[in-house]
Amino acid sequence: MNVSKVERELKALFEKELTHNRRRHVVFWYDASGEFLNEVKELELDDVRIWTLTENNLFATKYELETADPDSHFLIYANMPKPTPREDWLFLHYKNGMEYTSDRVTMTMREVGVEDDQLRPVFEKYSTFFRRQTRKETFLSFSTTFDSKEKIDLAVLATLTKSPFLSSDECVRALLKEELKEKNRFWEEVEKYGDVATFWQLMERHYGYSLEERTLSSLFLFFMMTYLSDQVDVDLLPSEWQPYISSRPMNVIVFMNQWMNHTTDREVFNQLADRFAEQVHINLIVENWAIDAIVQADGFRQFDEKVIAYLQEQLVYDVNQFAYYKDILTERRRLHWYSEFQAEYEAIENGRWLLQFVQEKDNYIPDQSAYDLFQAYASDYYRADLFYRKFYTAFDRIERKERLFPLREKIENVYTNWYLQELSIRWTNRQNKELVPTWTIARIAQQTQFYQTYIEPIISSDERAFVIISDALRYEVAKELMDVLNNERKASTDLQAMQGVIPSYTELGMASLLPHETIEYVEGHVVVDDIRAQGLENRKAILQKHVKNAVAFTFQELMAKNRTQLRESLAGQKLIYIYHNTIDARGDHAATEVGVFEAAEAAIHDIRRLVNQLVNNVSASNIFITADHGFLYERQRLEERDKLPKHVEEAIRIKRRYVLSQQIRTKQEEGTLTYEVHHLLDQRTPLYVTVPNGTTRFSIQGTGANYVHGGSMLQEIVIPVITFKNDRSKFSKNMIQYVDVKLTTPLRKVTNQVIYLEFFQTEKVEEKRLPRTFSLYFIDENGERVSNENLLIADSESSEPSERTFKEKFVFRTMSYEREIEYYLILKDEATNEIYDKVPFTIDFLSELN
């Protein structure tokens, strides 16, 4: 080595600032090979004593440093190996001084803080790695003491794979993720600057990977097969897969579980899983497995595809084991691929509910009075419309819809050819017997009495009333909306049904909801108290005719206001009508009617936001939500036999579901019912409304016959009224609470690498008692996870304690556990991401890595 370079480096050391009250620098230079024995003699260092240390002058050196010359700078050169701290007479001086070496490996060890010369071979192995300063800085950023070969190996690997933590799992996941790219840059880095042999030794040590085939593709397949062997009977797996199953599977299971649950990396796992599923032909293997064998398996998407195909087939062929299907669906919700197939599962779930509804009714809707049939729809039959809508809401989100075409055909057949037909026959029969020509059902609130029944008592008591009218908010949609409001706010909610007017269309329905003395048709238009009822300004005038401090807004107009603007607009107003139009706006146009169910979902979201706005910003207490009419909607294309010819020449207005005319025909039109309007409204001139029986439509030109209203079917004329009463009391029964979950297994000591714990949902889900979802896993005292993660969905509505009990399997990492310290079972609330419970455990079992 060039002497001048050595001098420069040594001078730089001696010129360093003295700290910690030191009076001088003492620099040790160990040169076991004697490589620089001659160069030392040539050194010229100002104000520095150069002292040669030998095995025979240790005491003399100590005396010189401590007694004879305690103030001078010293360079202690030793032509010998650096002694261990225990054997070093001068260790205190070495510890307080500095070490110089012209050996890059030694310099690196010194920078890293490693004094154990037995680790020198590890640093020699990674000499190329440490040549770049950025790699060295990343290596040093890991918060650990590099006191073992394994830690150094792992830190190098973590640096090369840009892993954020010093974890074999993180490193392996980073390498496997790169396999999706054209070049695996991380693996190239390992080959250049790491040590491939050491990597495979690490794989064997941590995961039991001992195959001769040393590739990342083989490693991922090894992980997949090992994980799968924990979920299905190993005997089901083909013989050629057996070598890919680890004899020490625990770390693999935990690794796979955490990767599959990872927020951002799960998509990468999905892509890798799909690639390997194709390579191993998993679809052909799974084809012959029984459904029970894979209900809890989630390594490959093919399991979900098989479960979905199975459930569809069972439902289509009327194998009505509905409780069993519910259990399967409940289990699949907890597993990895559920989010990818959520729309399919939700479609199946709602299809299951509709078919179960049919079974409950024994394929028969009994003949009953108009009153009883109306009430039966409001309390029970509406569910069929709800399930049908929710089926299509999910079905429309499915990308590969053809997979559920058989179930869709089944649902259409049941809904249209059984439910609607049965309901039509019973309801039309009752109309003929009881409601022609007067229409009104005794003891049922009438839509024309809405203001008198619901709003006037509020205004009379000097309270403020808000009325939200959502165009075509069908009763079953309102029921879902009520549940949303009821379970979101501390309020009391109630849903009642009114009998709507006919024809059940917007202009007349909206007029019926206004305060009024008279409602009638004048020259084909609906007039309320001599004011035409169409348009926001006209309706506002009608309101103010009855209530001085009354105002009307559109939904969009009101939602565009900030808190201050909203308060200014509503200051002093006693009656506020708000008009919302999402469902009818979509359904009434042929080009968009297919999206009417999606619009229903949007309407629920809109009104929920509006209610929150009113409650939070203007302290609204009394909110009423209603509709002008409902609707009929069938997804399948209507045949001509579903339509009636229109033979009403004197008609004022002809629509698909009603005809208004000034003269009644002498002979009742076949397949129709005709009502005298003066029985319905305050009509002074002769007027008649004719509606088709059941769900049939009048045949008129134009498209858009699937979404209709205007007739007299229950779906059109059962009008919802949601009464929302905000509750500001500090404590009340309207307080929203979430169900509690408790660990019921009494033991708090883990003695095996696989354990099962029981949890209990302490109360059933019901009104004001909401479900919650938890992530369950174990951590050590530093917060590092040591087990797999389970998803517990506490949403049981059962009163039976046994049906609210959950048994979860926990698999622990293979690692060293300390008996004296505490580990914790974590229950994390998935909605809030907060720790719900933290239960201390001790872990006492042998699981050291070999």
The pLDDT value recorded for residue 113 is 83
Higher pLDDT, 391 or 705: 391
Chain-centroid distance, C-alpha 623: 31
For 290, the token pair is 């029984």
Q: Which of 104-118, 295-309, 607-621 has the lowest mean pLDDT?
A: 104-118
2 pLDDT higher than 70: no
ω into 437 cis (within 30 of 0): yes
What average pLDDT does range 431-437 have in this prediction?
92
The pLDDT value recorded for residue 307 is 97
Q: For the chain, what percent of residues have pLDDT higher than 90? A: 79
In the chain, the N- to C-terminal Cα span, in Å, equals 44
* DSSP letter, residue 766: B
What average pLDDT does range 770-786 have in this prediction?
95
The pLDDT value recorded for residue 637 is 84
The pLDDT value recorded for residue 639 is 73
For 431, phi then psi, to 5°, come to -60, -45
Beta pairing, strands 550-554 & 575-580: parallel
Residue type, 561: K
C-alpha torsion sign, points 19, 24, 27, 28: negative
Q: What is the pLDDT of residues 715-774, one digit of tens each?
A: 999 999 999 999 887 777 888 899 999 999 999 999 999 999 999 999 999 988 999 999
Higher pLDDT, 102 or 535: 535
Round the average pLDDT of the chain to a whole number and report it. 92
What average pLDDT does range 775-799 have in this prediction?
95
Q: What is the pLDDT of residues 274-300, one digit of tens each?
A: 999 999 999 999 998 999 999 999 999
849 pLDDT higher than 60: no
498 pLDDT higher than 90: yes
Q: Which of 82-96, 134-148, 642-656 has the lowest mean pLDDT?
A: 642-656
What average pLDDT does range 801-807 have in this prediction?
95
Instruction: Give SS3 for 414.
Output: helix
The pLDDT value recorded for residue 847 is 64
Q: What is the pLDDT of residues 598-653, one digit of tens each?
A: 999 999 999 999 999 999 999 999 999 999 999 999 998 887 666 777 655 678 88
What average pLDDT does range 664-690 have in this prediction?
83
Q: Which residues contact 650 (CB under 8 A, 6 or more apart)?
A: 661, 662, 663
431 pLDDT higher than 70: yes
Q: What is the pLDDT of residues 27-46, one digit of tens each?
A: 999 988 887 888 888 899 99
Strand (E) or helix (H) holding 383? helix 382-395
Higher pLDDT, 847 or 516: 516
Please state, in angstroms and rounded to a whole number, the distance separating the CA atoms of residues 216 and 229: 20
Are 299 and 273 in contact by the 8 Å Cβ rule? The answer is yes
813 pLDDT higher than 60: yes
Residue 306: name the closest of 293, 319, 324 by CA: 293
Q: What is the pLDDT of residues 224-236, one digit of tens each?
A: 999 999 999 988 9
Q: Which residues contact 645 (CB under 8 A, 6 or more apart)?
A: 698, 699
The pLDDT value recorded for residue 12 is 86
- pLDDT-based confidence at 667, cuts 50/70/90? low
The pLDDT value recorded for residue 109 is 83
Please state, in angstroms and rounded to a whole number, the distance separating the CA atoms of residues 3 and 813: 54
CA distance readout (Å), 801 to 325, 760, 770, 771: 21, 8, 17, 16
The pLDDT value recorded for residue 129 is 94
- pLDDT-based confidence at 115, cuts 50/70/90? confident
Please state, in angstroms and rounded to a whole number, the distance separating the CA atoms of residues 151 and 143: 11
Residue 472: name the closest of 644, 593, 615, 576 by CA: 593
C-alpha torsion sign, points 85, 89, 93, 98: negative
- pLDDT-based confidence at 666, cuts 50/70/90? very low
The pLDDT value recorded for residue 642 is 64
The pLDDT value recorded for residue 586 is 95
What angle, 0 to 180 degrees and rounded to 10, lies between the N-to-C axes of helices 250-260 and 168-178?
Answer: 60
What average pLDDT does range 395-418 have in this prediction?
96
The pLDDT value recorded for residue 476 is 98
The pLDDT value recorded for residue 190 is 97
